[in-house]
Amino acid sequence: MPDIHVCEVGPRDGLQNAKHLMSTEAKKAWIRALAAAGLAEIEVGSFVPPKLIPAMADTAEVVQFARTLPGVTVVALAPNLKGFQRAIEAGAHKVTFPVSASREHSVSNVRMTPEQMVEEVRKCAQFPHPGVEIEGAVSTAFGCTMQGVVPEDDVVRIAKALAEFCDGVALADTVGYANPAQVKRLFRKVKDQIGAKLEGAHFHNTRGLGLANALAAYEEGVRHFDSSMGGLGGCPFAPGASGNVITEDLVFMFEAMGLATGIDLDKLFAAREILIQGIPEEPVYGHTPLAGLPKGFSAHA
């Protein structure tokens, strides 16, 4: 059992914001390499209308493929009941629902207020979904490019509502506004209300604070982190939001701290090469893959 659970969200959060399309075959090769590196949870796509995000048009096929990889929890995003039904049909093990705490972002992203979106997720939770885990992710929890400040009380209220019917709740810094002090404060506030239902942290590295924020969340007891290989990612409906926290650097940080992630760093770097081959025009980031592992470094066995 690893100490830290990393969910690779590159195939979803990364590719939906990439300027170039990755072919379905290249996605499969990348996801296969990610699984081989030990990533036990992979968010492989999003069940949104293909017209809206063409990069996600093949999500059903990618979910079906990822299900064939042993030991991988296949995650998909859904914005509504229709998307949820498609996710179940394709065989996703876990579905994550983004609920924006920012009113402006919510209306722009899903054309629903946060309260309407919570009700949509409730409807999904009531729809039969045997064996499928449901996560409610409070997005723009730390600020919003449209609205600016997002009141912490709004985040707590939404997280509390989602905890009533979701298996787990995550807080997401969709646009890379968070700082470590804020992360500690908000995770503590939400945890006070919903306890162990608060599971995941999703950070973007827009201002270079992705790792610092992940560490702050770790210190507040968080053990589930989303990250994206090569720091791909962003939100097409939140201008200026780029780059998830980088999987390679996140895994290195935790392993160097003596915490087991279950991920093999050499195989992770190999998967990065597959990613680059699959979408060569897209910029990738990351310090550890470029610098290499420190001399004498030993990963947590």
Q: Interface with Zn ion by CB under 5 A: which residues?
A: 13
Query: CB-wise, 8 or 13, nearer to Zn ion?
Result: 13
Minimum distance from residue 44 beta carbon to Zn ion (Å): 15
Residues facing 139 on adjacent strands: 100
Smallest gap from residue 185 Cβ to Zn ion (A): 21
Q: Report d(CA 150, CA 65) in Å as an integer.
A: 38
Residue closer to Zn ion (CB basis): 217 or 265: 217
Question: Under a CB-based contact definition with an 8 Å cutoff, are residues 108 and 237 in contact?
Answer: yes
In the complex with Zn ion, the residue whose CB is nearer, 210 or 278, is: 210
Minimum Å gap between C-beta 126 and Zn ion is 27
CB of 292 vs Zn ion, minimal distance in Å: 28
Burial label for 225, CB within 10 Å (0-12, 13-18, 19+), is buried
| 174 phi/psi in degrees, rounded to 5 | -55, -35
Q: Which one from 7, 144, 166, 235 is the annotated catalytic residue?
A: 235
Tell me the DSSP string of the chain.
--SSEEEE-IIIIIGGG-SS---HHHHHHHHHHHHHTT--EEEEEE-S-TTT-GGGTTHHHHHHHHTTSTTPEEEEE-SSHHHHHHHHHHT-SEEEEEEESSHHHHHHHHSS-HHHHHHHHHHHHHS--TT-EEEEEEETTT-BTTTB---HHHHHHHHHHHHTT-SEEEEEETTS---HHHHHHHHHHHHHHHGGGEEEEEEB-TTS-HHHHHHHHHHTT--EEEEBGGG--B-TTSTT-B-BPBHHHHHHHHHHTT---S--HHHHHHHHHHHHHHSTTS----SHHHH-PPTT-----
**First-residue to last-residue Cα distance in the chain:** 12
Question: Which residue lies nearer to Zn ion by CB, 120 or 226?
Answer: 226
Query: Cβ of residue 181: shortest distance to Zn ion, in angstroms?
Result: 21
Q: Which residue is nearest to Zn ion (CB)?
A: 13
Complex with Zn ion: residue 13 or 41, whichever CB lies closer: 13
Residue 7 known to be catalytic? no
Smallest gap from Cβ 250 to Zn ion, in A, equals 14
Cβ-based nearer residue to Zn ion, 46 or 261: 46
The catalytic residue positions are 235
